[in-house]
Structure 1
Amino acid sequence: MGLSLSNPLVFFSLILALSAISSLAFQSDELLVDDDEFGLEGGLEHAFGDSDFSTAGTFTARLKTWNHGGQTLTKLRFSRNAFSAEEKEKFSRLLQGDDFYRIRLPSNVLSPPGRDFVVSSVKARCLPRDALDEHIVINTDGVNILGVNYGAPGACPYPRQLKLPSKWSFNSHTILKNTEQAPRAPIFTEDILGGEGGEGEIVPPPERSFWAKYWMYLIPLGLIVMNAITQAMNLPEEQAAGQAQQPTAVQRGAPPSAVRRR
Structure 2
Amino acid sequence: MSEGWCCGRSLALFALVILLPIGIARGFQSDELLQDNEEFGLEGGLPAAGPEPPTNPVRSPIRRRPDLDPPSGSADSKSVQFSLEHNLGASEFSPAGTFTARLKSWSHGGQTLTKLRFSRNALTEEEKRAFERLLKEDGHYTIRVPSNVLNPSGEDYVISSVRARCIPRESLDEHFVIHTDGVNIIAVNYGSAGACRYPRLLRYPAKWSFTSYTVLKNSEQAPRTPTFAEELLAGEDGLGEGVKPPEKSFWAKYFLLASS
- Normalising by the smaller structure, the TM-score range is 0.5 to 0.7
Partner of 2:164: 124
Report 1:47-58 matches (<5 A).
47-49=87-89, 51-58=91-98
Shift of 1:184: 4.0
Partner of residue 134, structure 2:
94
Classify 1:49/1:2 alpha carbon distance in 2 versus 1 (closer, same or farther; 3 Å). farther
The equivalent position to 2:190 in structure 1, one of 146, 150, 175, is: 150
Deviations 1:74-127 (A, max 9, x none): 112111111111111111111111111000000000113413000001111111
CA deviation map 1:179-225 (0-9, x unaligned): 10123487335658xxxxxxxxxxxxxxxxxxxxxxxxxxxxxxxxx
Higher helix share: 1
1:105 aligns with 2:145: yes
Larger radius of gyration: 2
CA pair 137-127 structure 1, distance change in 2 beyond 3 A: same
Task: Report if aligned partners of 1:156, 1:188 keep a CA contact under 8 Å in 2.
Answer: no
CA distance in 1 between counterparts of 2:173 and 2:78 reads 25
Structure 1 segments of 4+ aligned residues over 4 angstroms from their partners: 189-192
User: Where does the alignment leave 5 or more consecutive residues of structure 1 unmatched?
Assistant: 193-262
Matches of 2:162 and 2:53 in 1, distance apart? 75
Query: What amino acid maps onto 2:219 in structure 1?
Result: T
CA contact (8 A) 2:78 2:104 kept: no
State the partner residue of 1:66: 106
Q: 1:5 maps to what in 2?
A: 56
Say whether 1:188 aligns with 2:233: yes
**1:205-216 mapped onto 2 (5 Å cutoff):** none
Q: Deviations over 1:118-151 (max 9, x none)?
A: 0001111111111111110000000000000001
Aligned to 2:201: 161
Cα 1:160/1:116, change in 2 over 3 Å = closer
Say if 2:211 is the partner of 1:134: no
CA–CA separation in structure 1 for the residues paired with 2:147 and 2:183: 8
Aligned-partner SS, 1:162: coil
Question: Which amino acid letter does the alignment assign opposite residue 148 of structure 2?
Answer: N
Distance of 2:122 and 2:157 partners within structure 1:
23
| Cα shift at 1:170 | 1.1
Q: What TM-score comes out, normalization by structure 1 length?
A: 0.61
Q: Percent sequence identity over matched residues? A: 56
Aligned residues: 178
Partner residue in 2 for 1:218 = none
SS at match of 2:86: strand
Q: How far did 1:51 drift?
A: 3.0
Partner secondary structure for residue 130 of structure 1: coil
Residue in structure 1 matched with residue 216 of structure 2 by the alignment: 176
Deviating more after overlay: 131-140 vs 181-190? 181-190
* Matching residue's letter, 1:188: L
Give the distance between the partners of 1:176 and 1:86, measured in 2 at CA.
31
2:5 paired residue number? none
| SS class of match (2:177) | strand
Native 8 Å contact 1:38 1:60 kept in 2: no
- Give 1:83's aligned residue: 123
Residue identity opposite 2:56 in structure 1: L
Residue 31 of structure 2 aligns with which residue?
none
One-letter amino acid matched to 2:122: A
Alignment map for 1:218-229 (pairs within 5 Å): none
CA RMSD of aligned residues (A): 2.5
Aligned AA (2:88): F
